[in-house]
Structure formats: structure tokens, C-alpha cells
Amino acid sequence: MSNLPYRAATVPDAVSLTCEVRPSGVRLRAAPRSGFQVKSETYRGHSTRGDIREFSARSRAGLLRLALDLAEFYSPEFLLTLTYPGDWRSVAGDGRVCAAHLKAFRKRLVRYLKRNGGTGDVSALWFREFQRRGAPHFHLLLWGDGLHGLELEHARTWLSEAWADVVAHPDPDERAKHEQAGTQLAPMRTRSFAYAVTYATKPHQKHVPDGFTNPG
């Protein structure tokens, strides 16, 4: 419970309480009933968030909880890595642009799976890191019925072309090199979220490089 001062209810039924038991722990939720508001008296109207410069301990803890909860129901099948070209700043120097790339790529992936006889049902737990050269790259743990029967070599060829098309580096040489080395797809050696847990507890490659704007 928070140490911040809250306005308390004066009637017994003002708040509805629910309890969720998950692998990551027990969660209590308080939902105000109609006509009742819960407001903090501290920092109201003055809350600000500074620029994100690293993968914080709070974010790592949140990812760890999510990985533990997902592991109760799902098993990731593939690890997909998406990287950017050598001249990455001209196409990926902004976090919002990178997020748009990932969103566009996911739509293409769903359409690809449907064209190849699948349901298109695919989910991913994704992480963004920064390489030593500063370039962002994504790791995606993939699972879902749409991946069943996926032909790896064909999928790898398609992924390379699709990701290069999404990033769309304007220089033909950079575009060609990116298509050759921009993606990696491999079956999970152990079909668990242990990779995510390891990621959540190790802070390396999480520092936002200078000049990378809107990391989110």
C-alpha cells in the first residue's frame, strides 16, 4: 500500500476489492464504485517524468513479473532478432520511428502467416537493446497457433526482405546489406521465458545512446 495520503471512503461499499493470484505474486485491485473518487493529495498537477536514459530497476521488475505470468500459460517457439543498417541514425534515430517500424513489421508478419495457410495468430514479448555501435535492435519471443508448421528457410528469406522494406534505408547499398544481415530467426532451445528473465535482470545494452530521441 502507498504511503501517500488518500481521501478515504466514509461508506463501507465505496470501493470494490478484487484479488488476483499469479505466478509473479498476489495483486489487490481497488475499483471505486459509482459516485466515489480516489485522489492523491501529493504531486497532483505537478508530476513530471524526466528523459529516459536507461532500463530502470522498476521496468526490469515489471518485465520479470510479466515473463513469470506468461510462462504459466504459454511457451515461446522462436527468437527473432531485428537489427538496423550500419547507417542506422538516418532511419532509426528516434524511438517513435522504431516503434512504428515494429508495428508495421508485425502487420506484415500476420499477413505472411495467413498467406501461408496459418491463422495469423501470433504473439510476441519484445525487448529493445542498443548495440555497442549505438544502434537499436529488437528481440522478439514469438508464440501462437499461426507459427505451427512454419517453414524456416522460407520464413527467414521473407523476414529479411520484409524488415528491410519496413526500415527502407534510402541508400541502395545500405538497403542491400541490411537485407543480408538485418534479421535472425531461430527456434527456442528451451521453450520457456527464461531468456526474458535473464534480460530483465541484466542491465547491459540498455543505456540509451546520445542523440537517440523519444526512447519511450
The string of DSSP codes covering 56-71 is: -HHHHHHHHHHHHHHH
Q: Supply the pTM of this predicted model.
A: 0.72
Type of residue at 60: R
φ, ψ of residue 173 to 5 degrees: the values are -65, -45
- The tens place of each residue's pLDDT in the chain, 216 residues long, gives 344 444 444 445 555 656 555 555 555 555 665 554 444 333 334 434 455 555 666 777 777 788 788 888 899 999 999 999 999 999 999 999 999 999 999 999 999 999 987 788 999 988 888 888 899 999 999 999 999 888 999 999 999 999 999 999 999 999 999 999 999 999 988 888 877 767 656 666 667 888 888 887
Maximum alpha-carbon separation in the chain: 70
Q: In this structure, how many other beta carbons lie within 10 angstroms of the beta carbon of residue 37?
A: 8
What is residue 117's three-state secondary structure?
coil
Exposed, middle or buried by CB within 10 Å (0-12, 13-18, 19+), for 161? Answer: middle
Radius of gyration of the chain (CA): 21
